[in-house]
Amino acid sequence: MDPCAQLDARERLRSSRPRARIARVLLLLSLFIACPETRAETRAESIETVPPSPNLWHALSRGKLVLAFRGRIEVAKAGDLGQSEAYTLRSILGYRTQSYRGVSLYADIYNVTSPTRSTYFDPTRLPNSQNLTTISDPLNTNLNQAFIKIEHPRSIGGGLIGGRQQIILDDARFIGNVDWRQNPQSFDSVFAYATAGVQNLALRYGWIGRVNRVFAGGGNNPDLANFDSNSQILNVEFSRFRFAKIVAFAYLLDLKQPNQPTPTQQNQNSSKTFGFRVAGAVPIDGTWSLPYQASYAHQSQYGGKSIDYGASYGLIDIGLRHPRMGTVGAAFEVLGSDAGRQQFTTPLGTLHLFNGWADLFLDNGGPDGLQDFHLYIEPELPWSLKANLVYHIFWTDNQSEMLGNEFDAAVSRRFGRHFEFRFTSGYFIASASSPKPQVYPTTYRVWLDFIFRF
């Protein structure tokens, strides 16, 4: 499924003061529409094509201004916690120069603000004195990206990007920019890409020195702090075949949070992962086709991590598509567990896109791992509407115990080149036999996004 389309789920809104709340929502709607997001979640500024320039002054002065706003209303309730309501506005101001002799620059600043900070729990501000549901959108201003891009000669067919940048590989399952949250994730890194002169081949290598997570530094919560890193990522893509794109990858993540109290906690997110991915679409006739994707990976101890473990990841996803009707499909994803000691982890991925939009399983099911079977429908709709419906069933990987099921729904529409409206919801219903009803309680989340891109 398209990661941009997979961004949301189902929920119910409750209000103890209906009229006051409706008035407040309408007021904020008017604010957000007047000054409404940014780019699609599947692209990073660093990989965009930069036009050449005849001289240095021309390159610096005739670049492209980046201006975007995303107004968001998010309502969430988990278990016995109180309902949170976050009304936030994300603003992005950036500038990209043109290319001079293969060299270009880019930088952007993100700001997240809200008129009603007390109505939701930001997990970077402990303690949770109001006992509200978590919404991970801290208010802050930060330099999200600042990098230099050097394009290699055509014979190599690639380039080098150094500095603070967003990186997205494949479907963002393992490496992503988490642009779903108002503060996206970026990497202080060196990233190289090339074809080595071979048609249909893409080589990507990166060294990561720091991970700037979505929590704006983590505040007084050490679990949410940025990662100090000495990590390497390698991704090789071959798209020679008509019905299949093949990717092999190796992610050696040495991640550390120095403010954690013990070495075990400081290094708990480190791992090494080797795997492959195959994706494509097989035509049945002139109209019908079978889109599919499959992936396998194995993960084990790396860096300073003290737990010696081995856990596997697997995905198989098969659909049926008609260009005038849409797509239906079924998928099964396993985030394995090593006998309940340690789960397969994906600390740098865009986790909201996977395992339900209610965001219950951002920890991949904890030490017991997670199994996720889901059915999805992506219908073709009139009036330029896009929609996505998903139904999930979740089990632990260790012992295969039932956790619950979830209903997700998303609808969006663009208005011209600059405006977009998006509704997303996720409604998770905990199983009566769940072994972890307090960790994964019945939860709903709803989002309304009003987006402007200049």
Burial 266-303 (b: 16+ CB within 10 A, else e): bbbbbbbbebebebbbeeeeeeebebbbbbebebbbbb
pTM, full prediction:
0.88
Q: What is the pLDDT of residue 32?
A: 34
For the chain, the distance separating the N- and C-terminal CA atoms, rounded to the nearest angstrom, is 27
* CA triple 133-138-144, angle to 5 deg: 140
Q: What is the pLDDT of residues 427-440, one digit of tens each?
A: 999 999 999 999 99
The C-alpha atoms of residue 446 and residue 444 are separated, in whole angstroms, by 7
92 touches 108 (CB < 8 A): yes
- Amino acid 127 reads P
CB count within 10 Å of CB 188 equals 19
Q: What is the pLDDT of residue 37?
A: 34
Q: What is the pLDDT of residue 30?
A: 34
Q: What is the pLDDT of residue 41?
A: 40
Phi and psi at residue 357, to the nearest 5°: -80, -5
Q: What is the pLDDT of residues 3-52, one digit of tens each?
A: 333 333 333 333 334 334 433 433 333 333 333 333 334 445 455 667 78
Which residue segments constitute the domains of the chain, with CATH numbers given?
18-453 (2.40.160.10)
Q: What is the pLDDT of residue 154?
A: 64
Q: What is the pLDDT of residue 48?
A: 64
Task: Enumerate the H helices of 255-298 as residue ranges.
Answer: 263-266
Q: What is the pLDDT of residues 176-216, one digit of tens each?
A: 999 999 999 999 999 999 988 888 999 999 999 999 999 99
Question: Strand, coil or helix: what is 155?
Answer: coil
Q: What is the pLDDT of residue 195?
A: 87
Q: How far is CA 80 from the centre of its chain?
A: 27
Q: What is the pLDDT of residue 158?
A: 87
188 touches 147 (CB < 8 A): no
In the chain, which residues have pLDDT < 70? 1-49, 153-156
